[in-house]
Structures are given as structure tokens and as C-alpha cells.
Structure 1
Amino acid sequence: MESKRPYLVEDLSCPVCQDIFKSPVMLTCSHSVCKECLTQFWESKGVRECPLCRKRSSNDPPLLNLILKNVCEAFLHERSSETLLCSRHNRKLELYCLEDNEPVCLVCRDSEKHQQHNFSPISEIAAGLREKVMAKLQAQKNNMKDIQDFKLACNKMAEHITRQVLLAEQNMKEEFEKLHQFLREEQAARIAALRQEEEMQARMMNLKIEDAITDILEFTERIRDTEQDLASDDAFVVLIYGEFS
């Protein structure tokens, strides 16, 4: 049976619970989510952000997407009112043939094809199938919740790691700055000691140089006096320097 619906189920499904929207609200990023799903997501996440694009939402309560709500309600009403008919007899399919594993109408039950076959009300078969499918669907929802919880835990761990790295980086910078400051102070102290040693050595050398100059002046004066004496009268030389004979 060909559907006349203008929408796909995916277009009318909440991105969080994957069911047809119930009371859809529109976020500032234009994405829509079930109001209950959004509330639970925000409570578990601790941040008001879109479950799809992670964009932060405003603090104002999100508005009801009335157009989408009406479309979803019309879709559900249309789907619930549809009745599949027997392709051979154009009658409602009320029974299920247990031998051929197919739904049939009352006329099919009495036909030659289904003679001596066993039947069950199709409502009972559908109820059993719904129960099995719902159990699998619930398991999938539980798995999805586990995955969401795991993802949330991973996000928290990633944030924790980032904070720890930033803290370690800050501590490392502070320690290196202390080390650099110590080295600068040590360098300044050693240079000051070197300058002091240099000044002391320079004063000592200046004193020695002054003593040497004094000695040179004294020797120069003695040499000049001796030369003058030697240039004097012979008798004066003998008288003055006779002790050297």
C-alpha cells in the first residue's frame, strides 16, 4: 500500500529519543527537540546547549514548535487510522494463518488455499510482536542512554585532562620563572663579586705602580746626582767615592 504522507518518519523524529516528536520545542539554533528529552539532556549535561550542534541556548524557556507539533499529531492520526485490506478480497485482515505466516481476511480463511490451516486473531499476533519489538526498542534506548552517559563521562574526563594540563603548564611556567629569577640574581651577585675583586686588585696594582714610580724617581735622582759628581773635580771624586777603590 502506497503511503500518501508528505513527510518521512525521520523528519518527524526527535534526535534524542528517536520517537515522533511530543511537545517539540525550538532552540535558538533552529533545531527542535521533545521538551521532556531536552529537560533530561540539560539536567544530565549540566549545560543549556543543543543536543545536535552543541550551541549554547539562551536562558529563556524554549518556545513550543506549534507547526511541527500539529504535523506530528496529524501524522500519528493518519498512521493509526490506516487499515490494510486483503489484496485478493479487499476485506479487512483480521486473522493470521499460522501455516503460511501471513495475515488473511475471513474470506481467505474459508478459501481452498487455507483449508485445514490454523488461525489466530491478528490482534493477538500484533500484540505479541509489539511486545517483542518494544522490548528490543527499550534495550536499544538503554544502550543509547549508556552511550550518552559514556560520552558525558568522556567529555568530563577530557575537560578534567585539559584543566590538569593547563594547571601543570602554569606551575611549570612559575617554576621556570623562579629558576630564571634565581639565575638572574646569582648572575648579578657573581658579577658584583667579580667587579669588587677587580676594584680591589686594581687598587693594589695602583699602589704598586705608585711605589714603582716613587722608586724610579728616587733612582733617577740618584743617578743624576752620581753623574754630576763624576763630572766634578778629580779630587772631589776621590774624596766622595774613595771607598770604592
Structure 2
Amino acid sequence: MASRQYVQSLAEEAVGPICLDFFTTPVTLDCGHNFCLSCITQCWEKEGRNCCPECRAKFADRYLRVNWALASPAEKAQQLNLNQKETEMRSQCERHQEELKLFCDTDKQLTCLICRDTREHKSHNFMPIEEAVEIYKCQVKSSFKSLTEKKSAIKKLEQRQKQEISGVREQSHTVQANITSEFAKIHQVLAEREQRLLSDLRAEEEKILNAMEKNLQEIEENLASVEEKLSKLQEQMNEEDSVMFLKG
């Protein structure tokens, strides 16, 4: 009741005298009276003069001050009024606009006294709203307790599953590290063997090439000797003087 009276009092102070609705951009005239900006502007344009609709005071110019102190309560009163109307609408029967006082346990819905006597609710079980609230609150509490216990059990399962996942990951990391370590050892052994084989190959290559190069050198020396002898024989063959030929 106090809340409703507060809303009504606030609403009366926040209503414009021209539109009889909540202030929209309230402005204050020099005489002290307040009006909506659009309302007073339209009024002055209609009358063709600048005067207060309340006290009929006249003004030389259209100087309007926005009343910010009134704008906020007007907006608040409008919101409270809307909320109150919405609450009242929710507590009324949409069909008969009567206050909802009963709960139809058969249809699981709120009804008014007129609904109770209609054909749709014939032979249905009704109870006062307060009684229905107590019954269903007990059911809600029971469901809440059951869900709380279920949540606790699920949390335990979640924690256990997380631990198992962590264990599998840790084990996998350990195995990966072992595999990497073993293959590193194998790579080291293979690298050392590779170096030994390459070293042996280079030694054998050098040994064979040395022998072949020595043989090549002997062949080249023999070839040079033969070529030298051939050159001398060629000179003798080219000698036309018989005496010189025989001396050679």
C-alpha cells in the first residue's frame, strides 16, 4: 500500500498540466510553472503569444530553461507506474479482469472466482494461492535438494575425469620423452658408424688412388721415353745423306 501511495504521489508531481501525462523534457517559465517543452511550444504557437497557461503571465521572449531536477523524477515515476501496471496486469485474470485468488490444481494455473464456476473448470480441484505456494515451494525445495546432490555427484565425476585426463597426458609425455631419448641414442650410434665407414672409405680410396697414380706416373714416363725414341728414329728416317744416316 505504501509503495502504491508513493508511486501515486510521485506520479502527481511528474504530470504536465497541459497533456496530463508524464513530463517529457520539462521546462520552467520565469513565473515558476513547469510544462513539457513540446506542450508549451505548441500552446504559444496556437495562441500566438508567450504567456503561462497557469497564471497567464506574459513574457517578452521564448526563453525556456530545462528543469533537470524534475526530469529525473518524471522518468522514474513513469517507470514505476509502468512496473506497477505490469504487476497489476499479471495479478488479474486476462479473461475476466478479476483478481487472481485461486489455483486450479487440475490445470496447474491461476484463476479468478468467476473462472472457478465456468464449464472449463467443472469438477476441478481448487485451492487458495497461499496454500498452493506452500505445496509447490516444498516440491521446489525437494527438487532443489535432489539437484544439489546430483550436482555434487557430477562435480566428483568431473574431478575424477580431469585427474584421469591429467594422468593420461602425463604418461603420454613420459613415453614421448623416452621415445625421443632412445631414438637420439640410435641416431648417435648410426652417426658414429657413418663416420667410421666414411673414414674407412676415404682411407681405402687414398690407398688405391696412390697406387694407381704411381702406376700412371710410370706409364707416362715410359710413354715419354718411347716418344723420345720415336722422335730420334723419325729424324734418322728423314736423313737424306747416306753417310750421316749410317753414322746415326
TM score, norm. by length of structure 1: 0.38
TM score, norm. by length of structure 2: 0.38
- Pick the structure with greater CA Rg: 2
